[in-house]
Chains A and B, each alone.
Chain A
Amino acid sequence: AQSVTQPDIHITVSEGASLELRCNYSYGATPYLFWYVQSPGQGLQLLLKYFSGDTLVQGIKGFEAEFKRSQSSFNLRKPSVHWSDAAEYFCAVGGKEYGNKLVFGAGTILRVKS
């Protein structure tokens, strides 16, 4: 069974528009949740993470994500997208319930149109 689901393979938004990328995880009472971004030809870079506490977390480059335990979701948002945000975004979950390893979703490719 897939542990981390990113339902959207591709998303296209206009520059300046808002963005939401979806992520759902299969199980875990206390998951460690991450969003990474990958620019073409590059490795992955951490955008933000959630371990505990405030369920709305702020990250780099103006991104934020909200943890909703009832929905097993950790969606990534940005109020106004810039052309430089075009990249592939990966949600990941870890912690004891995942064998203390990080499991990645399949990724969402973001295209930004001007």
Chain B
Amino acid sequence: NAGVTQTPKFQVLKTGQSMTLQCAQDMNHNSMYWYRQDPGMGLRLIYYSASEGTTDKGEVPNGYNVSRLNKREFSLRLESAAPSQTSVYFCASSGGQLGTGELFFGEGSRLTVL
């Protein structure tokens, strides 16, 4: 019963390096999301995808790109990592209408940028 799976769980990057966070869900959900979590700031939406083939910016999209590869997979790419992108990243999916349905979260990816 996998649910939402994120990889990698931990990553250390140097400033300027690039990397991709992978996310896959096996619940046949239409909507997928990427959030970042920082102390005292809750979860902030980076990008979301309402359905396969569509992506939209959230609250904090600068410095990130996403790809909705198919219905199952939604990846987040940092092209040139900056220390301000040190955070815990969560992928989530939902079967309901955007903003109204329960979100199912992965376990998170902890990224440190030196």
A-to-B contact residues, CB < 8 Å: 4, 9, 32, 34, 36, 41-46, 49, 51, 90, 94-96, 98-107
Contacts and interface: CB of A to CB of B under 8 A. Distances in A.
| Among all A-B residue pairs, the 7 with the closest Cβ atoms | A43-B105, A94-B99, A100-B99, A100-B98, A104-B42, A104-B43, A106-B42
Nearest to B50: A100
A107 B42 contact: yes
Contact of B100 (A45, A100, A106): A100
Interface string B85-102: 000001010000111101
Contacts of B105: 43-45
Interface in B28-80: 33, 35, 40-45, 48, 58
8 contacts: A34-B102, A43-B105, A44-B90, A44-B103, A51-B100, A90-B42, A100-B97, A102-B103
A41 B9 CA distance: 10
